[in-house]
């Protein structure tokens, strides 16, 4: 494993991470009115007040309507982008992505591989370094 933030959890030694360490956010449902619940976001990065959120979908999974509304409203704020990546998380095979920015989920699925997503993130990094949010 490489990178600055590798997953250190060993499932074989310590059991399933989702069962052992992931908060059971459904326990907070009764804190909010109607059918509102907390959203789970797979990953995020902040650079100079700019944000990318990553939501990973496997096996043709789609965003739930509530997730889509959440991400569209979140990205109304300047410097916030969401990428919904479709692929296999175990192998890190990427099929493509949808972008959500400026309060709108772009309708087109953009086919690309892992290198394509990494290029998007590198471009964001370069842009965010030059465009700090105040």
The verdict on residue 40 lying in a domain is no
Does 24 fall in a domain? no
List the domain range (segments joined by +) for residue 116.
49-92+101-134
In-domain check, residue 41: no
Pairing of strands 80-88, 43-47: unpaired
- How many domains does the chain fold into? 1
Check residues 115 and 26 and name the one with the higher pLDDT: 115
**pLDDT tens-place string over residues 19-63:** 777 788 888 989 999 888 888 899 999 999 999 999 999 978 889
Residue 37 lies in a domain: no
Q: How far apart are CA 113 and CA 29, in angstroms?
A: 36
User: pTM value?
Assistant: 0.87
Q: Is residue 34 part of a domain?
A: no
At 54-111, the pLDDT tens digits run: 999 997 888 989 899 999 999 999 999 999 999 999 999 999 999 999 999 999 999 9
Residue 121 lies in a domain: yes
Distance CA 106, CA 98 (A): 6
Is 33 inside any structural domain?
A: no
Beta strands 104-105 and 110-111, pairing class: unpaired
């Amino acid at each position: 494993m490489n990178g600055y933030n590798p997953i250190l959890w060993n499932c074989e030694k310590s059991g399933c991470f989702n069962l052992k360490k992931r908060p059971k956010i459904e326990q907070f449902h009764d804190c909010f009115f109607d059918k509102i619940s907390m959203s789970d976001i797979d990953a995020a990065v902040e650079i100079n007040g700019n944000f990318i959120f990553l939501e990973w979908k496997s096996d043709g999974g789609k965003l739930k309507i509530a997730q889509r509304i959440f991400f569209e409203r979140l990205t109304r704020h300047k410097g916030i982008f969401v990428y919904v990546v479709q692929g296999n998380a175990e192998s890190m095979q990427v099929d493509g992505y949808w972008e959500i920015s400026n309060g709108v989920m772009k309708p087109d699925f953009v086919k690309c591989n892992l290198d394509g997503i990494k290029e998007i993130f590198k471009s964001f990094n370069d842009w965010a370094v030059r465009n700090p949010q105040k």
